[in-house]
Amino acid sequence: MIGPTFFAGLRPRRAREESRRLGVYPRLNGQYQALMLEAFDTKATVVEVRDLSDALARARNGTLSGLWINFDDKFVVPRRRERQMMAARKTVRTLSRLKKLGVPLMLTLHNEKPHDGCDPKAFGHLRGFLLQNADLVHGHSSAAAALAQRSGTPEARIGVVPHPSYLGHVPGATARTAGPEAPRFLSFGATRRYKGHDLMIEAFATMREAPRVAHLTVAGNAREEGGLDFARLSGRVTLDRDARVIPEAELPALFGAHDWAVLAYRSSLTSGAAMLALSFGLPVVAPDLGGMREVLTGPLADFLFAPGDAGAMAEALDRATRVTPDDWLTLHGAALARAEALRPAVVSQDFKALLARHAMLPAPLARAIQPRKDLTHGSIHAPQELQGPHGQDLAQAVRRVQHARLQDLSLESR
């Protein structure tokens, strides 16, 4: 016979279930996690994990439904280089203990290679463990999915959900009514070697249309600027170097004062800077690598260039400089449409469904989610991820701009 003691025994388990949260590490101290979690009730479903000791304590008391790991090189830097392998091994041991306690792990692949200052062997030791043992490896592009597959992650444990735009998370952009006569270019973000600022300088120094370029602004923290010869641009373009961490409140004025974003990455799986530019309606000159072609679709793809090739970048800049004011307005509309298609509220719903499918969320929330589509890598590989609601939104938005002009521009700028 079932008596009161039976139900009393159930209550602690139910209480623990209701208190379970998805752990997020590093802590929620940046825009990125806020974008991906927009559709979540973060107070009820997400908890900031202070460190891995905190994660272990939560796992032992049964209140951790999963651990979402971002920026995995942060586990080993900023320690001294000779101590980084020790930190990587300690991290692997702790993550293994979390797995034994039944906590599923998720890794988001942000970068293909370690950032400067990170020991490649230590990075490889930790990254290799995560790719082999994470219950879910999430990427923003087919390039990230392919990297995971090459590293031995089973396809069933790979999920692709694109990087959202910043609409609603930065002060809004207003649609412009006139295109530029003399284009103003913006390179936004901290200077790092992998971001290819030296290639960008070479490209601007050798482009044929340089006399028509009114301005180049390089805005962002000068982390690794040693050896960059901005003096080469003297007499070619007007250069403005703002070596600060740009406050969020200044972003609308900064992007609003420019007409093109410029990226020169040597390696990239995704680009928050590209998504930020689209959110302000700026077309982007960018290398054709990582997920760029999946983000910069239609006429926006005409300004992609071969990665690592300063000459090819110069040609792409020349094409951008020759764009007429009317055609630039069409590109502006296409950029805003692309940002709308990847609005955080939409992308975050797909992210939530992906996590539910891989048992990363508290069970009551997971049961309430009805996934709209298969969110494993195989079904939304490469640009086909646009077959879902993102693609429908984009198609509707693009129809609102001048379709004939889009076609003309695509032909003229090849």
| pLDDT at residue 368, as a whole number | 53
Q: CA of 357: how far to CAs of 75, 97, 370, 375, in Å?
A: 27, 23, 10, 8
CATH of the domain at 86: 3.40.50
247 lies in the same domain as 287: yes
| pLDDT at residue 8, as a whole number | 41
Q: CA of 94: how far to CAs of 53, 54, 64, in Å?
A: 8, 11, 15
**Residue 169 phi/psi, 5° resolution?**
-115, -10
d(CA 143, CA 137): 13
Q: What pLDDT digit, counting tens, does each position of 308-337 carry?
A: 999 999 999 999 999 999 999 999 999 999
- 77-81 average pLDDT score: 67
Q: What pLDDT digit, counting tens, does each position of 248-282 carry?
A: 889 999 999 999 999 999 888 888 899 999 999 99
Q: Is residue 414 part of a domain?
A: no
206 Cβ partners below 8 Å, 6+ apart?
310, 311, 314
83 lies in the same domain as 154: yes
Q: Is residue 229 part of a domain?
A: yes
**Contact 39/343 with Cβ under 8 angstroms?**
no
46 lies in the same domain as 132: yes
- 390-397 average pLDDT score: 33
Q: How confident is the model at residue 381 (pLDDT cuts 50, 70, 90)?
A: very low
Query: Among the three residues 325, 341, 357, which one is the final residue of a domain in this structure?
Result: 341
147 lies in the same domain as 229: no
| pLDDT at residue 366, as a whole number | 55
Q: How confident is the model at residue 181 (pLDDT cuts 50, 70, 90)?
A: confident
CATH of the domain at 277: 3.40.50.2000
**Contact 77/123 with Cβ under 8 angstroms?**
no
Query: Among the three residues 324, 341, 358, which one is the final residue of a domain in this structure?
Result: 341
296-321 b/e (C-beta count within 10 Å ≥ 16 → b)? bbbbbbbbbbebeebebbbbbbbbbb
Q: What pLDDT digit, counting tens, does each position of 81-108 carry?
A: 678 888 899 999 999 999 999 999 999 9
Say which range, 137-141, 179-183, 292-296, has the weakest mean pLDDT. Answer: 179-183
Structure tokens given for 343 = 């609005």
Q: Is the pLDDT of residue 2 over 70?
A: no
149 lies in the same domain as 232: no
| pLDDT at residue 225, as a whole number | 63
Q: Is the pLDDT of residue 143 over 60?
A: yes
d(CA 275, CA 255): 12
Instruction: Supply the range of the domain harboring residue 75.
Output: 12-160
Burial of 11 per CB tally in 10 Å (0-12, 13-18, 19+)? exposed
Query: Among the three residues 317, 341, 365, which one is the final residue of a domain in this structure?
Result: 341
21 lies in the same domain as 138: yes
Q: Is residue 292 part of a domain?
A: yes
Q: How many domains does the chain have?
A: 2
Q: Is the pLDDT of residue 380 over 90?
A: no
Q: How confident is the model at residue 398 (pLDDT cuts 50, 70, 90)?
A: very low
Q: Is residue 301 part of a domain?
A: yes
121 lies in the same domain as 196: no
